[in-house]
Structure 1
Amino acid sequence: MTTHHLRYLANCSMLFTEVPLLERPAAAKAAGFDVIEFWWPWPDQPVPADRDVDAFVAAVEDGGVRLAGLNFFAGDLAGPDCGVLSIPSRVQQFRDNVDVAVGIGERLGTGVFNALYGNRVDDATPEQQDELGTESLVVAAKAADAIGATVLVEAVSGPKPYPLRTAADAVSAVGRARAAGADNVAFLLDIFHLANNGDDVDAAIRDHIRTIGHVQVADFPGRGEPGTGQLDIDRHLGDLQSAGYGGYVGLEYKPTTTTEDSLSWLPRERRGASS
């Protein structure tokens, strides 16, 4: 497998789970990565205690890596939740979280913040939720813009009633936010989720390359490391590079054995930010 000249980072919410969360930045560094990303580290807390935030920041700094990507608060991703920003009863959690997340990003050099959209609910129409979602993205984008960062929107797969299923769905949400004045909102192309939803990954790259602000990879089916499923990830990454994508590729997969073993497809010398 050729790996092109893209820049890779480790998603430390899915990789290095052999060790506690605060030890994962150092584990990523030991495995050869200079750059990482995380989901929101406190799934039940939009606004964690200052000491917990400080401990997280210190773990990244002491680990010798940069936190390039962070999710905004999105609820319990392993449970019923898939984001909250378009849910009327929970949108305040998202708004309360924005300054905390961007504050962490300001301390750690974070360039992209993933804003998971929110499931459909019974107490609001899809139109009302999309209007609320656009407002939330604009609020987040304004905060992120103050540190030169971008807000991301992604399509997600799985059984939850998450409305953004295809690249076109997610890009439409990006377009609504941009039309409302938030220029620094972009599409997070997650190759696994698109494939899992039956979307055309080739078309997504071809049609939306100028809207893509970040990329994440896992193989399909199974969401394991590249080479464990049926996707031609190598070709997709090559197409992204050929089309001019210059951002990071986040390794957001579930290792089939250990994290270390799962990284054998990516030579160590290709994991560093300067490679």
Structure 2
Amino acid sequence: MGFENAPLTGFENQRFDVNLSILFTELPLLERPAAAAAAGFTAVELWWPWIDSPTPGQAETDALRDALNDAGVRLVGLNFYAGQLPGPDRGALSVPGEESAKFRANLKVAADFARSLGCTALNALYGNRVEGVDPAVQDELALENLVLAAREADRVGAILLIEALNAPESPLCPIVSAPKAIEVVDKVNAATGLGNAKFLMDLYHLSMNGEDLEQVVDAYAEKTGHVQIADNPGRGAPGTGSLPLAELLGRLRKAGYAGQVGLEYKAGPAGSAQSFGWLPPEHRAAR
């Protein structure tokens, strides 16, 4: 539809943040926080920024922390190590061997980095099915690692997010529906007794799965710890597709969700800085 630069209505009362792992990627990582601030945003989120290393050096983490602080933006969401993302991987915690070991090595590093910035939401992507490995074995490993992640998140005052991806784009990932993600959330909370595992409701992914989004909102708003949006088709900015995103976010608010809404969409051809015209500047600062 191509309306990403035309202001839209119905988004006025949301707490938006920019995902710096999909937007502003035309810039080096350390320049992205300032670019988000220049566009009027005060909150950002990130996939694990150092995809080749679950345990980056102190100088690297300090540099990113300083870039965020210098730009005056808050980090409100961070992924644990998830393998090659972007790339073929969809997480590491259910993958036996080296990837699971990397995930465990990352837990304290990611949690400490989040705590240093006051970030209180940590996302743990489940991972792909592995050929030749019994799915039950992978699920057992996943629960073990998610329990560790929940405890590590709790140590730094954070929630643990469980995200449902979409089957067309992630055919090897078993967590491709809202009910399946909620099932995992409930299992983790039952195992830890902490109650800090929450659903990451990505409306784009759920729409790609053909789910009834109004029903998902009504059923799972109470268990939702974070929301992400992109329009469909195309995974572009609101207004470029046909999803009723303003109505869905309004429905979420009425259901009691008052948290962040991450902008996790692809920039248009004019670049990231020109992909926010749908949202007037006065509504970009997180409240």
Normalised by the size of structure 2, how large is the TM-score? 0.93
Is contact 1:9-1:249 (8 Å) kept? yes
Aligned amino acid, residue 68 of structure 1: V
Q: Which of residues 134, 153, 160 is equivalent to 1:144?
A: 153
Q: Which residue matches 1:230?
A: 242
Q: Which residue matches 1:101?
A: 110
Give distance in 1, aligned partners of 2:147 and 2:241. 37
For the residue of structure 2 that corresponds to 1:119, the secondary structure is coil
Q: Which of residues 128, 134, 139 is equivalent to 2:137?
A: 128
- Greater relative contact order (Cα 8 A, min sep 6): structure 1 or 2? 2
Aligned amino acid, residue 133 of structure 2: A
Q: Which residue matches 1:164?
A: 175
Which aligned pairs between 1:106-117 and structure 2 lie closer than 5 A?
106-117=115-126
What 5-or-longer segments of structure 1 have no aligned partner? none
Following TM superposition, by how much is the alpha carbon of 1:118 offset from its aligned partner in structure 2, in angstroms? 0.8
Stretch of structure 1 that moved more, 68-77 or 120-129: 120-129
Q: Which residue matches 2:213?
A: 201
Following TM superposition, by how much is the alpha carbon of 1:233 offset from its aligned partner in structure 2, in angstroms? 0.6
CA RMSD of aligned residues (A): 1.1
Following TM superposition, by how much is the alpha carbon of 1:138 offset from its aligned partner in structure 2, in angstroms? 1.0
Following TM superposition, by how much is the alpha carbon of 1:55 offset from its aligned partner in structure 2, in angstroms? 1.0
Percent of aligned positions with the same letter in both sequences?
A: 48
- Give a deviation string over 1:170-228, Cα, whole Å, max 9, x none: 11111110110241110000000111121221111111111100000000111000000
Is contact 1:4-1:241 (8 Å) kept? no
Aligned amino acid, residue 14 of structure 1: I
Q: Which residue matches 1:87?
A: 95
Give distance in 2, aligned partners of 1:169 and 1:149. 22
Q: Which of residues 231, 234, 245 is equivalent to 2:257?
A: 245
Is contact 2:76-2:119 (8 Å) kept? yes
Aligned amino acid, residue 266 of structure 2: K
Give distance in 1, aligned partners of 2:156 and 2:57. 22
Q: Which residue matches 2:280?
A: 267
Is contact 2:185-2:197 (8 Å) kept? yes
Matched, 1:173 2:173: no
Is contact 1:219-1:231 (8 Å) kept? yes
Normalised by the size of structure 1, how large is the TM-score? 0.97
Runs ≥4 in structure 1, deviation > 3 angstroms?
A: none
Following TM superposition, by how much is the alpha carbon of 1:159 offset from its aligned partner in structure 2, in angstroms? 3.8
Give distance in 2, aligned partners of 1:160 and 1:96. 27
For the residue of structure 2 that corresponds to 1:180, the secondary structure is helix
Give distance in 2, aligned partners of 1:240 and 1:266. 19
